[in-house]
Amino acid sequence: MSSILSGKNILLGITAGIAAYKTANLVRLFIKAGANVKVVMTPASKDFITPLTLSTLSKNPVHSSFTNEENDNDMWTNHVELGLWADLFIIAPATANTMSKMANGTCDNLLMATYLSAKCPVYFAPAMDLDMYKHQSTKHSFETLKSYGNIMIPATSGELASGLVGQGRMAEPEAILAFIEADILDQLPLKGQKVLITAGPTYEAIDPVRFIGNHSSGKMGFEIAKAAANLGAEVVLVSGPSHETVAHSFIEVIRVTSAQEMYEACHRYFDSVDMAILSAAVADYRPKNVADQKIKKASATFSIELEKTKDILKSLGAIKKEQFLVGFALETNNELEHAKGKLESKNLDLIVLNSLNDKGAGFGGSTNKVTFITRSLEIVQHELKSKTEVAQDIMQQILKQTHA
């Protein structure tokens, strides 16, 4: 299962404390969580763990000086670029010396220059001996760094390198990872909310081997599910037949085949969700009678009587209470008028309009071009984008309407 850190750029700053040996496991955990990792070391920290170990684990060069000391002609290491690259900057271990420099703006090495250039959240994990940890100057560094907006990962109590037992031991790598994940989650706008999402086509059986379906791949719905989960939501993703997959700890995938099965799944979860986004391409009709055996080819023509399937979106709109309900409209003509009609008739809060007249939009591809129509009939048009970006735009539009 992926972590909330998946896809994040993490810059790990390592200073000269014995706890530096734990950073090999910390890098490994960040990589396992799906993050991209780069490492900046103070020169003295290389006495505790080698850059080779960390570069091998992070799959990136390790930086410790402004220039390559072995090659006078090598490029200068750009601390500003490193700081801007990072989504998160974690300094672990953070020694008393480095924290004092951070508090006072002392810029005498690459790590400090990068810290002073960083625009992202900065976490620091103190590590030092008991008496150093309790010293008034160290407490002053803690308070100053927190007043700057830095986030402290508290040290734990235990046996220290000196042989003393007490506070000052750097948090274990697993605890650092859990602390950062929890801190990020606490700040996410959809934390504690539950979202129902539908994706993909439905297949309506004709006989045991044939069906009526459509070309929907399910990609749009899966991308919306990931975007919602990355905002902290607990997601129930009801998917028709699709080759798309997702591994995210906040997403539960319910696989269905027919429109009836999707209807039942949606109604099973709808009462317990805060919002529902129905992006699936559900069949409007299904065969009235399904043959038990494969239908044999017997004549030049063949007719199938069809009957309407249940309108899932309309049925949810009829019973919704406080839920925010989003529908999709795939149109080929009079697009805005038809979409506005669906918005009203199905009691929606937002409708996402796709036009098959737009190149790159619709089924099967990796891109989409959408127009949002809100409950108040505000029209928001977007350019052609990847479905990942469209999913993020959809979630931002929902946040704009629900968190106004």
Handedness of CA 62, 87, 369, 322 (dihedral sign): positive
Distance CA 127, CA 160 (A): 9
Per-residue tokens: 98? 């480095």
Q: Give the containing element (helix H, strand E) for 239.
A: strand 234-239
Pick from 301, 307, 263: which is nearest to 287 by CA?
Answer: 307
DSSP letter at 231? T
Q: What share of the chain is helix, strand, coil (3-state, %, to 5)?
A: 35, 25, 40
Query: Does the annotation count 68 as an active-site position?
Result: no
Per-residue tokens: 351? 């409708």
Query: Letter for the amino acid at 70?
Result: E
Task: Outline where DSSP puts E strands in 144-274.
Answer: 151-152, 156-159, 165-169, 194-199, 204-205, 211-212, 234-239, 251-255
> Three-state DSSP class for 149?
coil
End-to-end Cα, the chain, rounded Å: 32
The answer to whether 356 touches 207, Cβ cutoff 8 Å, is: no
Query: Letter for the amino acid at 98?
Result: T
Lookup result for tokens 């939009």: 361
Distance CA 339, CA 351 (A): 7
Phi/psi for 288 (5° steps) reads -70, -35
- Dihedral angle, C-alpha 376, 378, 384, 387, nearest 10 °: -20
Q: Estimate to the nearest angstrom the gap between the alpha carbon of 44 and the chain centroid.
A: 36
Is beta strand 9-14 parallel, antiparallel or unpaired with respect to 36-41? parallel
Distance CA 201, CA 184 (A): 34
Query: Which is the catalytic residue, given 78, 97, 214, 347?
Result: 214
Pick from 88, 93, 15, 26: which is nearest to 57 by CA?
Answer: 26
What is the CB neighbour count within 10 angstroms for residue 34?
16
Handedness of CA 3, 4, 10, 15 (dihedral sign): negative
Q: Give the containing element (helix H, strand E) for 183.
A: helix 173-186
Catalytic positions, please? 214
